[in-house]
Homo-oligomer: A and B are copies of this chain.
Amino acid sequence: MLLGRVTGSLWATRKDEKLNGLKFMLVEVWNTTANQPEGNLVAADNAGAGIGDLVLVVQGKAARISAENLDVPIDAMIVGVVDSLEKNDDV
């Protein structure tokens, strides 16, 4: 899973109609070593995430498993909102 921060949302009117009803969030992938973002992706949301939340994102088929719909053409899903991250920088 990727660790990311939700930084926005987006709308698409012209789209594959199999995506109807899904909300798409812009997620900045977060590099905890450098403490900076490295790239971004767009994910559907199955965890009720909001702007600013630190989230877990799964990719590939895991996104469709989370959606409980293997026929939806998505490849990224927010599956959790991180409450607490404990990092040990000494290791």
A10: contacting residue among B9, B52, B82, CB under 8 A: B82
- Specify which chain B residues have a CB less than 8 angstroms from the CB of A56 in the assembled complex: 10, 12, 15, 24, 42
Complex CA–CA separation, A14 to B19 (angstroms) = 23
Interface residues of A (CB under 8 A from B): 1-3, 5-16, 18-19, 24, 26, 28, 31-33, 37-43, 46-49, 51-52, 56, 58-66, 70-77, 79-89, 91
What chain B residues lie within 8 Å of A41 (beta carbons)?
Answer: 1-3
Copies in the complex: 5
CB contacts (< 8 Å) of A51 on chain B: these are 88, 91
Cβ–Cβ contact B62 & A74, under 8 A = yes
With A19-B79, A56-B24 known as contacts, the answer to whether A1 contacts B43 (CB < 8 A) is yes
Q: Please, which residues of chain B bring their CB within 8 A of the CB of A15?
A: 47, 56, 79-81
* A31-B40, A33-B37 as given contacts; A79 in contact with B83, CB under 8 Å: no
